């Protein structure tokens, strides 16, 4: 009997469903190389961070707050710009879009 990996993959027919992994397990392991790496990474993450369901990394809120503040600052700068500055910014964006094509 051919052994198969104990992991699961997204179904080809429906991405929200799971199917057994068809790969062969690593020698002496229950998982193929892909799933062994995924399991090791997930277990290491849990050991290092102690996350429970719905909990986020302690730095996540601070990083999110900084990103929101940075985006708000940029938005305020755009709103406070003079009409000439806004026109200049629009010209620069337009040139970049043309250059990117």
Catalog residues that contact Zn ion under the rule CB under 5 A. 5, 7, 21, 23, 32, 35
In whole angstroms, the minimum distance from the beta carbon of 16 to Zn ion comes to 19
Report the residue number, 24 or 46, with the smaller CB distance to Zn ion: 24
Q: How many residues does the chain have?
A: 101
β-pair partners for 9? 19
Shortest distance, position 11 Cβ to Zn ion, whole Å: 14
Task: State how far the Cα of 87 lies from the Cα of 32, in Å rounded to an integer.
Answer: 57
CA atoms of 46 and 56, how far apart (whole Å):
11
Residue 2 CB, nearest distance to Zn ion (Å)? 14
User: Measured from the CB atom, is 27 or 53 closer to Zn ion?
Assistant: 27
Residue 7 backbone dihedrals phi, psi, to 5 degrees? -80, 175
Q: Provide the β-strand partners of residue 18.
A: 10
Looking at beta carbons only, is 38 or 81 nearer to Zn ion?
38
């Amino acid at each position: 009997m051919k052994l198969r990996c104990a992991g699961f993959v997204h179904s080809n027919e429906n991405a929200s469903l799971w199917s057994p992994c068809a790969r062969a397990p690593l020698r002496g392991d229950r998982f193929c190389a892909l799933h062994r790496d995924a399991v090791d990474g997930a277990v290491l993450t849990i050991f290092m961070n102690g996350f429970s369901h719905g909990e986020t990394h302690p730095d996540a809120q601070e990083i999110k707050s900084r990103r929101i503040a940075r985006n708000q600052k940029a938005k305020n700068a755009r709103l406070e710009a003079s009409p000439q500055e806004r026109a200049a910014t629009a010209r620069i964006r337009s040139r970049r879009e043309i250059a990117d094509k």
